[in-house]
Structure 1
Amino acid sequence: MLTLRRNYKIILLASISSVLCFASIILYLNYLQIQNLHGTGEVSVIFNDVDQLYSESEYIVEVEVIETQSFYVNESPFTLSKAKVNKVFKGGLEENIINILENGGLIEKRNYIFEKNPVFNVGEQAIVYLHKYYGPAAEDAYFIRGAYQGKFKFADNNSWLTNNESIEEQLLIPPNDVSEGLSNVKSLRDLKLTQ
């Protein structure tokens, strides 16, 4: 009888320990979880097609993101991405490395996403339509035209410069929540930059 009671206590203590351990793991995983916060806002210009986007952009470049830093300015989240310039399609941009400023970013386990368009991650490659940024968030930076409308990421992060496919057929991912003229862009041919 004494052994049975002793075994019962051991089983009870092991069960309680298991439950407490499992609860601690769940609480810890919830603590580590990143919270996605989706924001909306008004853009100053809505671009209807790539021709309009082209004509109203100072620079059009192919970039590869090599570093990102997210921060707040007046309680608004921003990300500054350092990017290597692979090709210039428009503008007299002479720098090999540029800074691209975007709304949103990951700060203190909060991932701010503007209009369903996440900011750049390290290693991503894209064609971006830019203009020079002047403001309190960054010095010597460029801003994507239409906040996010001028950002076309390469599918599978493959730049056309390093891919064996034909230049015109290289697949792109258009931004979210844009006009039909921009959402239909699926390749470099659609951007009309290789003609």
Structure 2
Amino acid sequence: MIQTVKARAFTITVLTMAVLVAVGIYLSFIAPKQLEMGLSVDHAYTSVDEMKKAADLIVEGTALSQKTVDYEGVLFTTSVLQVDQVLKGKLKEKEIAVLETGGFDGKNHLTMEENRVMDPSRRYILFLEKYKGPVAKDAYVITGAYQGKFAVDGHRVEAPKQVSPKIETIDSKQALIQHISK
């Protein structure tokens, strides 16, 4: 009886250790990780009003698809955004391209100050400026690199990471739209 219990305990211990080692290997070497790109913004916005003034366009919409490109050693992601509502500016198109620094390189999520690029099929309120540069044509960039990107979940919004406390505390869609409407 005691021998059977010891044998089962030994077997369970060995199997548990094997599973833990396998999980550790997966998490350490195989699973995608979030890696910081080492870039920072040149201007930290302190309020929604400040971002609103800098933005050419403020929209609410859903990210549909993404294309990632390496330009001179830096990863960029262009997302197609289906625009449902224009909160500032004028827009004829229902879909626009939004260029962000970072993305998924096939192995890791490259981020800027802990902020990942938009997730396809997720809704956002974006403060946008027209992009001028060699990486993409007819595209917009997010005001403050990532600071003007609010993920929408029903009536709630999630402010980006590493923003000013005034912006970080906005957690409802209604409150954000009220700030924009001022």
Task: Output the aligned Cα RMSD.
Answer: 2.2
Residue 142 of structure 1 is matched in structure 2 by: 140
| Aligned 8 A contact 2:78 2:100 in 1 | yes
Mapped partners of 2:139, 2:167: distance in 1: 24
Q: How does 1:57-136 map to 2 (within 5 A)?
A: 57-136=55-134
Given the superposition, is the C-alpha separation of residues 188 and 35 from structure 1 closer, same or farther in structure 2, using an over 3 Å criterion?
A: closer
Structure with bigger gyration radius: 1
1:193 counterpart letter in structure 2? I
* More RCO (CA 8 Å, sep 6+): 2
Residue 4 of structure 2 is matched in structure 1 by: none
How many percent identity over aligned positions?
Answer: 30
TM norm structure 1: 0.75
Unaligned 5+ segments in structure 1 are: 1-21, 159-169
| Aligned 8 A contact 2:52 2:180 in 1 | no
Residue 166 of structure 2 is matched in structure 1 by: 181
In the TM superposition, structure 1's runs of 4+ consecutive aligned residues that sit over 6 Å from their partners are 25-28
Aligned positions, number: 161
1:146 counterpart letter in structure 2? G
Mapped partners of 1:131, 1:120: distance in 2: 16
Q: Report the 3-state secondary structure (helix = DSSP H, G, I; strand = E; otherwise coil) of the residue aligned with 2:180.
A: coil
Q: How does 1:153-164 map to 2 (within 5 A)?
A: 153-155=151-153, 158=154
Mapped partners of 1:138, 1:80: distance in 2: 8
- Aligned counterpart for 2:149 among listed residues 126, 151, 160: 151
TM norm structure 2: 0.80
Mapped partners of 2:23, 2:144: distance in 1: 41
